[in-house]
Amino acid sequence: MAQNQTKYSFIAEEIRKRIMNHAYPLNQPIPDEITLAKEFDCSRMTMKKALEVLVLEGLLYRKRGHGTFIIKSALDADRLQIHNQEVNGFTKLLDGKKVISKVIEFKVIFPTEEIAERLHIELETPIYDILRVRLVKEEPYVLEHTYMPVGVIPGINQQILEGSIYSYIQDELKLKIASSYKQIRADKATLLDQQYLDCASDDPVVEVEQTVYLNNGLAFEFSKSRHRYDKFVFTTVNIARR
């Protein structure tokens, strides 16, 4: 278990891996809370919290009187599953798969009015301007245009950009990512999309625009990610509270 990781989040991560690796049959409930609690040497309450995480992610659903089942559509391996409450980066979303990050452009600039407004900074604040294409099995999935205040996320370089920025933020800078605000829209493929995502001129793309915040309330990222329509699924889970 990683340092500072809670027991229930560690368990949720392990069960998530099992689900994605087809360790549990799809037509039967997964082991019950008591059985899993014994296996992971934890309380039933901890196990309940771990499973609740996966329910909120859209991986599991509870059927009263029958148990907890895997949502089959969540196992669509060819599509990137974006959840409405997701604040992890692309690499984390595809945990277990080799992600290649190719840097197209990287420079420090001053923000436009739109970017300054989204990051809640002044126009004189230097920011990173990052354009990357993210590939899985050498196939392009998403074209990311990201802006980050230099003062909030110091030390970004080419090596970090070729890996995971979010891992650098959390593991090296020891900052905690807390929340994000997303807007999702459909758009026509641009020339950049056609060049880097292997899109046809008449292919649609899915754009995810988001502002992401640290737990101290600072906005550290404003980005527009352009996804291939055939590699993207947005999942939202609404649970009735009784």
The CATH number of whichever domain residue 128 belongs to comes to 3.40.1410.10
The more confidently predicted of residues 53 and 77 is: 53
Residue 241, in any domain of the structure:
no
**DSSP 8-state symbol, 153:** S
Per-residue HEC secondary structure of 14-32 comes to HHHHHHHCCCCCCCCCCCC
Structural domain contains residue 169:
yes
Instruction: Identify the domain boundary among 58, 74, 90.
Output: 74
> Does 41 reside within a domain?
yes
- With respect to residue 242, please indicate whether it lies within any of the assigned structural domains: no
- Residues 111, 228: one domain? yes
Q: Do 21 and 93 have their domain in common?
A: no
Q: Are 91 and 166 in contact (CB under 8 A)?
A: yes
**Within this chain, do residues 222 and 121 fall inside the same structural domain, yes or no?**
yes
CA dist., res. 51 & res. 45, Å (int): 10
| 160 and 230 housed in the same domain | yes
How large a percentage of the chain has pLDDT more than 90?
A: 57
Indicate yes or no: pTM above 0.85: no
> What average pLDDT score do residues 4-22 get?
85
pLDDT at res. 101 = 93
How many distinct structural domains can be found in the chain? Answer: 2
Instruction: Compare 20 and 74 and report the one with higher pLDDT.
Output: 20
Which of 239, 205, 212 is closest to 62 using CA atoms?
Answer: 239
Select from 218, 210, 5, 185 the least CA-distant residue to 87.
210
* Whether residue 177 sits in one domain with residue 120: yes
pLDDT in tens, 131-159: 999 998 889 999 999 999 999 999 999 99
Residue-wise pLDDT for 85-142, tens only, equals 455 555 555 555 678 999 999 999 999 999 999 999 999 999 999 999 999 888 999 9
Which of 221 and 70 is assigned the larger pLDDT? Answer: 221
Q: What is the pLDDT of residue 73?
A: 63
Strands 232-235 and 80-83: parallel
The answer on 115 and 52 residing in a single domain is no
Q: Is residue 93 part of a domain?
A: yes
Q: Please check the confidence at residue 180 and state whether its pLDDT lies above 60.
A: yes
Share above pLDDT 70 across residues of the chain, in percent, rounded to a whole number: 84
Range of the structural domain that residue 100 is part of: 80-235
Query: Can you read off the two tokens belonging to residue 102?
Result: 């190719």
Domain presence at residue 17:
yes
pLDDT category at 242 given cuts 50, 70, 90 is very low
Task: Return the pLDDT at 134.
Answer: 93
Residue 240 in domain:
no
Last residue of one domain, picked from the residues 33, 52, 74: 74
Q: Which of 22, 49, 74 is the last residue of a domain?
A: 74
CATH number of the domain where residue 29 is located: 1.10.10.10
Q: Are residues 116 and 183 located together in one domain of the fold?
A: yes
- CA separation for the pair 223, 242 (Å, rounded): 37
Instruction: Identify residue 35 by its one-letter amino acid code.
Output: T
Indicate whether 121 and 12 sit together in one domain.
no
Least confident stretch, 33-42, 58-67, 230-239: 230-239
- pLDDT, position 94: 52
**26 and 69 belong to one structural domain:** yes
Same domain, 93 and 57: no
Arithmetic mean of pLDDT, 170-176 = 93
